[in-house]
Amino acid sequence: MLISTSFLSSKNPPRDLKLLDETDTDFIHLDVMDGKFVKNKTMPFSEMKNIYKYTTKRLDVHLMTEDSSNYIKDYASLNTEYITIHIESNNVKENLELIKNYGIKPGLAISPNTSLSEVVPYLPLIKQILIMSVEPGEGGQAFIIETEKKLEEAKILVEEYDLDIIINVDGGINDKTINYCKRADMIVSGSYIILEDNFQEKIDSLRI
């Protein structure tokens, strides 16, 4: 089980990113919000780009933005492994191709009320399916139990087409709700890790 740690809930990002760099978390999850696709807005890229000062970890970038093209260009310039856009956003096909053109692995996120079937036309273009287990845009929400079924469907879908795609899940994940995520290849956890004193202990509890 791969772990991608979000610092969205951090009160002191520089300190917490340095501490995360000492753990074995596989990725740092970057939540990027434009205040349009979701109501909240994260720090501008002019500040976010300084993340390299605090961590050497590869980045797993999640764009919660209406049209992601400008954001893709910016975040492709960082130490980025994945850039994931929402299937509910604009110009999905063009933006997935743009991500690939930058040499980054494209991902497609789906919100809780979106059917997994909508992902099918884009399967040849992506390397990650990010299933939201909370409504996108805000940290600290409760895990939606029905996500377990969607994870199972996603796993079957990927295996059926024999594709090199990982299944990721994001939202409300802790040492209890991780038990609903056994079909995922990677999980995103934020508040559960970042609001505690011992990051490594919390990360260890999620590796099932």
Number of Cβ atoms within 10 Å of the Cβ of 39: 9
From the candidates 16, 31, 34, 185, give the one annotated as an active-site residue.
31
Give DSSP secondary structure letters for 183-201: T-SEEEE-HHHHTSS-HHH
- Rounded distance, CA 4 to CA 59, Å? 8
Q: At 107, is the secondary structure helix, strand, or coil?
A: strand
Does the annotation mark 31 as catalytic?
yes
Instruction: Say if residue 102 is exposed, middle or buried (CB neighbours under 10 Å; 0-12, 13-18, 19+).
Output: middle
Does the annotation mark 24 as catalytic?
no
Task: State the helix-helix crossing angle for 199-206 and 13-21, rounded to 10 degrees.
Answer: 60
- Rounded distance, CA 14 to CA 51, Å? 8
The one-letter amino acid at 185: D
- Rounded distance, CA 42 to CA 124, Å? 30
From the candidates 26, 34, 60, 170, give the one annotated as an active-site residue.
170
What separation in angstroms does the CA of 76 have from each of 25, 57, 72, 199?
A: 21, 15, 6, 27
Catalogue the long-range contacts made by 90-93 (C-beta closer than 8 Å, 24 or more residues apart). 90/66, 91/67, 92/122, 93/122, 93/125
Return the active site residues.
31, 170
